[in-house]
Amino acid sequence: MGIFDTSPRARAAALVAPPFAYALLLLAVPLISIVLISFWTQTGLTLSRVFTLDNYREIFSGPIYIWGNQNRWGVLPLSLFVSATVTLVTVLLAYPVAYFVSFHVAPQRKSLWLFLITIPFWTSYLIRVFLWKVILGYNGVVNTGLIELGLIQEPLDFLLYNLNSVIITLSHAYAVFAILPIYVALEKIDRSLLEAAQDLGENRFTTFVRVTLPLSVPGIVGSVLIVFIPTIGDYVTPELMLGAGGRLISNVIQTQFLQLNNWPLGAALSIITMLAVGVVSLVFILLNQRWLRGRG
Amino acid sequence: MSAQSKPVAAPLIQLRGVHKHYGDYHALRGIDLEIRQGEFFSLLGPSGCGKTTLLRTIAGFETPSSGTLMIDGRDMAGVPANHRPTNMVFQSYAIFPHLSVAENVGFGLRRDPRPRDQKSRAVAEALEMVGLGGYGSRAAHALSGGQRQRVALARALILKPKVLLLDEPLSALDKKMREQMQVELIRLQRTVGITFILVTHDQEEALVMSDRIAVMFEGEIGQMADPERLYRRPNTKRVAEFIGKMNLLPGDVAIEGNQILVDTAGLGRGAIEAEQAPGGVMPGRTTVGIRPETLGLLFPGETTDRRLAEGVVDEVVYYGDMTYYDVRVAGVERPLTISMKNLIGRPVLEVGAATQVVWDERSLVVLSR
């Protein structure tokens, strides 16, 4: 006797129950709590559960979070800009790698190449971020190297503790996530299509533009989403690479929750960020669907 | 359709001693070939015989290891596929899935200097020609196999190539569709007057469609001839067995005066013409071929002035319009296969029935090894 003697529907429910409970507890409950808390107020050590829009009003009224002023951008647009740049750089760098593995590596060697590409993941993310500090720092590998070679006299100071370093570090960290979806999309392209394009008068470059690139768009869209969404929430890299005073939206949220003990404002900022990311993702998904319409 | 029905012209395609090696594998072993302007030429052979490699060499997707390829008097060494006067219909059709039917057909017109409206008219005409008028705006993935094939044809023919290369274009279609497309391809080829080179493993397809056929085995051309000659006078056992059904019997060739005499096991002696030995007349032991439909059975009440041999029915396969008999005759190990039309008054014989085999020395063919 047990669940396997019951109806198929009950059996299915029983099988789904554990992951469902898991998703409910670890995804839905925190999310709903955040939404609720964003409408409350912090009063000393406790939360006042009276519905209020004050947190949202604070976010939208001042220049800090969204609007910015002449001297600096709002934190959220700046963060979106950084994530977009990271996404662009990552996808632009990932595409040639994926292309190379898919088109120029012998079939029996492909899995070895994919394995090699994942090797950076064997090192902890935190350690990789610190390694970039060692590489880009004032007395880091790049600067000492360039000085030794006599190419520069003084260390370059635009390498570390600014947005460049955040973009470099994140692009490296998310490269694999961008390579794999593009690789899969390229693998799915029927090679006879490339020969057909050549047969119809196109050279290798125009074949790429007219056939390979359009057919790999689903992979590119996948990569964009996979890189863009998590990078906006990454607070370790900006924390370590921006230095004093530098703040992206993830750091601001973390500060509200953990240092200023203002959960409601932190929650409201999270919701606004989530909505912004959601809108960007939606645009991409719709673009992709439009693209996929009329294709197999 | 014989080769005589079209004017003989200078060779459009010329291959001289073409070899292709893939590492240790010798895919093409010295191909010499001339294909004339306006010809419907087929490369026929079992899978792995090199016919597709040869086609891809002409298209420019493979580079010969040695030998020369000329198209329209131009040496094609170093000329990439996109600069050759050839277009190809791929086995998988290679229809671009991200483009509409019209965009697929007009794909090769990008560099065409004509204005846009003239190009779209050309696309519409090409679709009309392959029987897909009005399909232009459809998505390519919504097409059936036969329609895809037509799009592939229109896409290649719109560029008016000197040579159209077809790589097993009918193999993915069902039988009915295949027969219909065979007829349409023949009609199309006559209308446009472009040289077609067809690769196929289907001997019937090659016989139906071609002006000339090259039969290939293991990277070499075994025989090259028009369909009738290839079917009636195959030069080797291999060609004879690959094309149609052929009874193979041991025989002896002797030359007496100016007569060639063949003693065929189970049938008897007969005089043949020199052209019945396309591989050359060599006195001594040989293999004699005879097609099932050139043999017959003498039914009760029928008479004949042809030669006869006693036999016993070993197997009967009834096809409706035809009956195939396996008949044992004295002195031959394997029974003879004989096909008979089921005409009025002709009974279907039982297994074990005694019968007489009707044969004629004119249908014998002496095969070389």
Q: Do B139 and A294 touch (CB under 8 A)?
A: yes
Q: What is the pLDDT of residues A133-165, one digit of tens each?
A: 899 988 889 999 999 998 888 888 888 888 888
The answer to whether residue A98 sits within a structural domain is yes
The answer to whether residue A115 sits within a structural domain is yes
Q: How confident is the model at residue A276 (pLDDT cuts 50, 70, 90)?
A: very high
Q: Which helix (H) or strand (E) holds A5?
A: none
Question: Which residues in chain A touch residue B108, judged by CB atoms under 8 angstroms apart?
Answer: 200-201
Residue of B nearest to A211 (CA): B96
How many domains does chain A contain in total? 1
pLDDT reported for residue B3 = 45
Residue closest to A126 by CA, chosen among A240, A259, A246: A240
Q: How confident is the model at residue B8 (pLDDT cuts 50, 70, 90)?
A: low
pLDDT reported for residue A81 = 93
Residue of A nearest to B103 (CA): A210
Could you say which of B88, B90, B111 has the minimum Cβ distance to residue A201?
A: B111
CA B290/CA B304 separation, integer angstroms: 19
A89 within 8 A of A163, measured Cβ to Cβ: no
Q: Do B82 and A211 touch (CB under 8 A)?
A: no
Q: What is the pLDDT of residues B309-352, one digit of tens each?
A: 999 999 999 999 999 999 999 888 899 999 999 988 888 899 99
Does B4 have pLDDT greater than 50?
no
In this structure, the number of other CB atoms found within 10 A of the CB of residue B174 comes to: 10
- CA-based torsion, A72, A78, A79, A85: positive or negative: negative
Q: Which amino acid is at A246?
A: G
Q: Which amino acid is at A79?
A: S
The answer to whether residue A10 sits within a structural domain is no
Q: Report the share of chain B in percent with pLDDT over 90.
A: 77
A179 within 8 A of A117, measured Cβ to Cβ: yes
Estimate the share of chain B in helix, then strand, then coil, as percent rounded to the nearest 5: 25, 35, 35
Q: Do A192 and B81 touch (CB under 8 A)?
A: no
Question: Which residues in chain A touch residue B91, judged by CB atoms under 8 angstroms apart?
Answer: 192
User: Is B306 exposed, middle or buried (CB count within 10 Å of its CB: 0-12, 13-18, 19+)?
Assistant: middle
Residue of B nearest to A214 (CA): B98
Could you say which of B82, B94, B111 has the minimum Cβ distance to residue A190?
A: B94
Residue closest to B201 by CA, chosen among B150, B154, B166: B166
Q: What is the pLDDT of residues B187-229, one digit of tens each?
A: 999 998 999 999 999 999 999 999 999 999 999 999 999 999 9
CA A111/CA A114 separation, integer angstroms: 5
Does A1 have pLDDT greater than 70?
no
Residue of A nearest to B139 (CA): A294
Question: Which residues in chain A touch residue B104, judged by CB atoms under 8 angstroms apart?
Answer: none
Q: Which amino acid is at B164?
A: L
Question: Which residues in chain B touch residue A211, judged by CB atoms under 8 angstroms apart?
Answer: 96
Query: Mean pLDDT across the stretch A21-36?
Result: 92
The answer to whether residue A13 sits within a structural domain is no
For chain A, the average pLDDT equals 89
B3 within 8 A of B35, measured Cβ to Cβ: no
- Portion 164-223 of A in contact with B at CB < 8 A: 190, 192-193, 195-203, 206, 210-211, 214-215
First to last CA, chain A: 47
Question: Which residues in chain B touch residue A192, judged by CB atoms under 8 angstroms apart?
Answer: 90-92, 94
B339 within 8 A of B292, measured Cβ to Cβ: yes
pLDDT reported for residue B61 = 95
Question: Which residues in chain A touch residue B90, judged by CB atoms under 8 angstroms apart?
Answer: 192, 195-196
**Beta strand B86-89 pairing with B163-167:** parallel
Q: Which helix (H) or strand (E) holds B216?
A: strand B212-217
Give SS3 for A70. coil
User: Residue B211 has which token pair?
Assistant: 């002006």
What's A211's DSSP letter?
A: I
The answer to whether residue A11 sits within a structural domain is no
Does B74 have pLDDT greater than 70?
yes
Task: Tell me phi and psi for residue B337, to 5 degrees.
Answer: -95, 130
Q: Do A195 and B110 touch (CB under 8 A)?
A: no
Strand partners, B329: B311
pLDDT reported for residue A245 = 66
User: Residue B7 has which token pair?
Assistant: 């004017």
Q: Do A211 and B159 touch (CB under 8 A)?
A: no
Q: Report the share of chain B in percent with pLDDT over 70.
A: 97
Task: Tell me phi and psi for residue A153, to 5 degrees.
Answer: -95, -45
- Topology at the third CATH level for domain B244-367: OB fold (Dihydrolipoamide Acetyltransferase, E2P) (2.40.50)
Q: How confident is the model at residue A2 (pLDDT cuts 50, 70, 90)?
A: low
Does A71 have pLDDT greater than 90?
no
Task: Tell me phi and psi for residue B138, to 5 degrees.
Answer: -70, 155
Alpha carbon of B25 to those of B29, B43, B148, B154: distances in Å? 10, 20, 34, 36
pLDDT reported for residue B115 = 94
Q: Which amino acid is at B249?
A: L
Question: Which residues in chain B touch residue A198, judged by CB atoms under 8 angstroms apart?
Answer: 61, 80-82
Q: What is the pLDDT of residues B255-276, one digit of tens each?
A: 988 889 999 998 999 999 989 9
pLDDT reported for residue A293 = 61
Could you say which of A192, A199, A296 has the minimum Cβ distance to residue B92?
A: A192
pLDDT reported for residue A296 = 41
Query: Mean pLDDT across the stretch A180-195?
Result: 96
Does A50 have pLDDT greater than 50?
yes
Query: Mean pLDDT across the stretch A33-46?
Result: 90
> Domain segments of chain B: what residues?
3-237, 244-367
Residue of B nearest to A215 (CA): B98
Q: What is the pLDDT of residues B10-30, one digit of tens each?
A: 689 999 999 999 999 999 999
Q: Do B108 and A201 touch (CB under 8 A)?
A: yes
Question: Which residues in chain A touch residue B96, judged by CB atoms under 8 angstroms apart?
Answer: 193, 196-197, 211
Q: Which helix (H) or strand (E) holds B234?
A: none
CA A225/CA B333 separation, integer angstroms: 73
pLDDT reported for residue A56 = 93
Question: Which residues in chain B touch residue A201, judged by CB atoms under 8 angstroms apart?
Answer: 82, 108, 110-111, 159
CA B317/CA B326 separation, integer angstroms: 8
Q: What is the pLDDT of residues B139-184, one digit of tens each?
A: 988 898 889 999 999 999 999 999 999 999 988 888 888 888 899 8
Report the CATH architecture of B3-237. 3-Layer(aba) Sandwich (3.40)
CA B35/CA B165 separation, integer angstroms: 12
Q: Do A200 and B155 touch (CB under 8 A)?
A: yes
For chain B, the average pLDDT equals 91
The answer to whether residue A244 sits within a structural domain is yes
A288 within 8 A of A294, measured Cβ to Cβ: no
Task: Mutation target for B interface from A199, A203, A208, A215: give the one with most B CBs within 10 A.
Answer: A199
Q: How many contacts (CB atoms, under 8 Å) link A and B? A: 63
CATH number at residue A142: 1.10.3720.10
CA B326/CA B337 separation, integer angstroms: 5
Residue of A nearest to B152 (CA): A196
- CA-based torsion, A86, A92, A96, A99: positive or negative: positive
The answer to whether residue A241 sits within a structural domain is yes
Does B186 have pLDDT greater than 70?
yes
| Sole residue written with tokens 């600014």 | A162
First to last CA, chain B: 29
Question: Which residues in chain B touch residue A296, judged by CB atoms under 8 angstroms apart?
Answer: 97, 141
Q: What is the pLDDT of residues B341-361, one digit of tens each?
A: 998 888 889 999 999 999 999
Task: Look up the domain containing A282 and give its range.
Answer: 21-292
CA A182/CA A222 separation, integer angstroms: 8
- CA-based torsion, B202, B207, B209, B210: positive or negative: positive
pLDDT reported for residue B1 = 43
Could you say which of B82, B98, B107 has the minimum Cβ distance to residue A203?
A: B82
pLDDT reported for residue B2 = 45
CA A285/CA B364 separation, integer angstroms: 72
Residue of A nearest to B100 (CA): A294
Q: How confident is the model at residue B369 (pLDDT cuts 50, 70, 90)?
A: low
Q: Report the share of chain A in percent with pLDDT over 70.
A: 96
The answer to whether residue A160 sits within a structural domain is yes
Residue of A nearest to B82 (CA): A201
Query: Mean pLDDT across the stretch A258-263?
Result: 89
